[in-house]
C-alpha cells in the first residue's frame, strides 16, 4: 500500500531532504577547515585580534580567538617581525596574509603558546620555510625551530628543546647550499641528504613530530618530513619517514613551539621566512589539502534545492 501525504506534508518532506543533503555537502567541503592551531600572519582585527602589520613584532600579535598567542622569550634586541610576502605550498590549503621574518641576532625568540601541556600521543608541527641568506652558518649548524616545555614570556632564551629543526651549510662549489635535519634534543642530528639552495624560489614544506613513549626515559621519537608528497595531505596517518632521531634523554612535556633568534652566527641562518604554521595531534591537522572550491559546493547545494523544488511541484 502506497502512503499518501497532504500538500503541507509533501512540502515539509521535500524541504527536510533538501536541508539534509545541503548539510552533508557543507560538512564534506569543510572537513579540513577546523585545525587545532593555525597561524597565517593575516589581519585578525575582524575577530578582535591584531592587524599583523608588516614590520610589526610577531610577539605582539594574536588572532583574536585565543588559540594563537605569541610571547617574547630571550634578551632585548631584534625581534621576529611580520613580512609582506606569504609562502605557498603546492597542494596545501591556500595561504593568506604575510609571513614571519627572523634569523641570527641577539634578541628575543618568538614562542607560540599551545594553551595546554602535552605528555602523551604524538604532537606535530608544520610550516613553509624560505631561507634567504645563510650568513655565516657553519657546517655543524644548529636549531632554528623546536618544541619547548614552557609558555609565556621569559628573559632567557629557552634551552629545553625537542623535535628540533636543524640547519647546516654545505661546502660546495655553489654558495648558499644547506641541509636540514632533525634532532630530538641533544646529540648528533639525523640529516636529510637533500641539498637545498637559497636561490630556489620555492619554499620548503617542513613537517615534524614528537612521539611520546612510556617504555623508558629515552624512547620518545622525533621525526621529520621535508616536502612530503601532496598526495598524503589530509591523510589520517603520517607517511613513512627515515628521518628520525631518538636514543637521548626525553625532555618531558611540550607546551610551545619556538622560532629562535640565535646569537651565534655559526648556529643559525642570517635571514629566514616561515609561514602557514600549524600544530596538531594528527598528520591531517597539519597538512590540510586544498578543499573543494566554495563555488562547486554552492552549485551542488543549488542543484539539490532545485531537485527538491521539482519533487514538491510534481506532487501537486
State the pLDDT confidence band at 291, using cuts at 50, 70 and 90: confident
Residues 58 and 184 in one domain: yes
User: How confident is the model at residue 7, as a pLDDT?
Assistant: 43
Does the structure show a pLDDT above 50 at 94? Answer: yes
For residue 157 the three cell numbers come to: 632564551
- Residue 157 and residue 210: Cα distance in Å, rounded? 21
User: How confident is the model at residue 5, as a pLDDT?
Assistant: 43
Does the structure show a pLDDT above 80 at 147? Answer: yes
Residues 70 and 182 in one domain: yes
State the pLDDT confidence band at 301, using cuts at 50, 70 and 90: low
User: What CATH number is associated with residue 198?
Assistant: 2.60.120
Query: Residue 297 sits in which domain range?
Result: 1-31+291-316
Residues 131 and 190 in one domain: yes
Residues 41 and 166 in one domain: yes
Residues 176 and 239 in one domain: yes
Q: How many domains does the chain have?
A: 2
User: How confident is the model at residue 76, as a pLDDT?
Assistant: 95
Round the average pLDDT of the chain to a whole number and report it: 86
> Are 64 and 54 contacting, i.e. CB atoms less than 8 angstroms apart?
no
Residues 198 and 282 in one domain: yes
Residues 27 and 145 in one domain: no
User: How confident is the model at residue 14, as a pLDDT?
Assistant: 41
Does the structure show a pLDDT above 50 at 161? Answer: yes
Write out pLDDT tens, residues 233-272: 999 999 998 799 999 999 999 999 999 999 999 999 999 9
Q: Higher confidence at residue 313 or residue 24?
A: 313
Residues 210 and 304 in one domain: no
The closest alpha carbon to 207, from 230, 177, 174, belongs to 230
Residues 39 and 4 in one domain: no
User: How confident is the model at residue 296, as a pLDDT?
Assistant: 45
State the pLDDT confidence band at 2, using cuts at 50, 70 and 90: very low
- Residue 125 and residue 148: Cα distance in Å, rounded? 12
- Cell 589539502: give the residue: 289
User: How confident is the model at residue 66, as a pLDDT?
Assistant: 80
Q: Higher confidence at residue 107 or residue 242?
A: 107
Residues 215 and 178 in one domain: yes
The closest alpha carbon to 210, from 236, 183, 242, belongs to 183
Residues 76 and 20 in one domain: no
- Residue 247 and residue 187: Cα distance in Å, rounded? 9
* Extended strands (E) in 189-297: 190-191, 196-197, 204-211, 221-226, 244-245, 254-259, 271-280
Cβ neighbours of residue 24 closer than 8 Å, sequence gap 6 or more: none
User: How confident is the model at residue 286, as a pLDDT?
Assistant: 97
Write out pLDDT tens, residues 113-124: 998 899 999 999
- Residue 94 and residue 115: Cα distance in Å, rounded? 25
> Are 148 and 256 contacting, i.e. CB atoms less than 8 angstroms apart?
yes
Portion of the chain with pLDDT greater than 90, in percent? 75
- Residue 155 and residue 8: Cα distance in Å, rounded? 69
3-state SS assignment for residue 316: coil
> Are 196 and 131 contacting, i.e. CB atoms less than 8 angstroms apart?
yes
State the pLDDT confidence band at 294, using cuts at 50, 70 and 90: low
- Cell 613537517: give the residue: 207
DSSP 15-83: HHHHHHHHHHHHHHHTTTT--SEEE-----GGGTS----TTSBGGG-B-SSSS-EEEEESSSS---EEE
Residues 191 and 258 in one domain: yes
The closest alpha carbon to 240, from 212, 217, 207, belongs to 207
User: How confident is the model at residue 173, as a pLDDT?
Assistant: 61
The closest alpha carbon to 286, from 98, 32, 41, belongs to 32
Residue 95 sits at the vertex; the CA angle it makes with 93 and 100, to the nearest 5 degrees, is 135
Phi and psi (nearest 5°) for 285?
-60, -35
State the pLDDT confidence band at 316, using cuts at 50, 70 and 90: low
Residues forming beta bridges with residue 177, ordered by sequence position = 197
Give the CA diameter of the chain: 85
Amino acid at each position: 500500500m502506497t502512503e499518501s501525504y497532504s500538500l503541507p506534508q509533501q512540502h515539509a518532506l521535500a524541504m527536510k531532504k533538501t536541508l539534509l543533503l545541503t548539510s552533508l555537502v557543507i560538512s564534506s567541503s569543510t572537513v579540513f577547515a577546523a585545525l587545532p592551531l593555525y597561524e597565517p600572519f593575516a589581519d585578525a582585527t575582524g575577530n578582535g585580534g591584531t592587524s599583523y602589520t608588516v614590520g610589526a613584532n610577531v610577539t605582539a600579535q594574536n588572532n583574536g580567538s585565543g588559540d594563537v598567542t605569541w610571547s617574547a622569550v630571550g634578551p632585548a634586541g631584534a625581534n621576529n617581525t611580520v613580512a609582506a610576502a606569504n609562502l605557498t605550498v603546492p597542494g596545501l590549503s591556500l595561504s593568506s596574509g604575510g609571513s614571519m621574518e627572523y634569523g641570527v641576532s641577539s634578541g628575543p625568540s618568538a614562542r607560540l603558546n599551545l594553551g595546554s601541556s602535552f605528555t602523551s600521543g604524538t604532537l606535530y608541527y608544520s610550516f613553509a620555510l624560505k631561507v634567504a641568506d645563510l650568513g655565516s652558518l657553519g657546517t655543524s649548524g644548529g636549531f632554528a625551530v623546536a618544541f619547548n616545555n614552557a609558555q609565556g614570556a621569559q628573559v632567557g632564551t629557552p634551552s629545553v628543546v625537542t623535535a628540533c629543526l636543524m640547519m647546516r651549510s654545505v661546502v660546495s662549489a655553489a654558495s648558499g647550499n644547506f641541509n636540514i635535519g632533525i634532532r630530538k634534543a641533544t646529540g648528533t642530528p639525523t640529516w636529510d641528504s637533500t641539498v637545498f639552495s637559497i636561490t630556489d624560489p620555492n619554499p620548503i614544506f617542513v613537517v615534524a613530530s614528537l612521539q611520546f613513549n612510556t617504555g623508558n626515559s629515552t624512547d620518545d621519537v622525533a621525526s621529520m618530513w621535508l616536502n612530503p608528497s601532496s598526495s598524503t595531505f589530509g591523510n589520517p596517518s603520517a607517511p613513512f619517514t627515515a628521518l628520525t632521531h631518538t636514543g637521548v634523554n626525553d625532555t618531558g612535556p611540550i607546551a610551545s613551539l619556538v622560532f629562535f633568534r640565535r646569537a651565534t652566527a655559526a648556529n643559525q641562518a642570517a635571514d629566514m621566512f616561515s609561514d602557514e604554521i600549524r600544530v596538531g595531534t594528527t598528520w591531517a591537522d597539519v597538512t590540510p589539502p586544498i578543499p573543494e572550491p566554495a563555488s562547486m559546493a554552492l552549485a551542488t547545494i543549488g542543484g539539490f534545492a532545485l531537485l527538491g523544488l521539482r519533487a514538491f511541484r510534481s506532487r501537486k
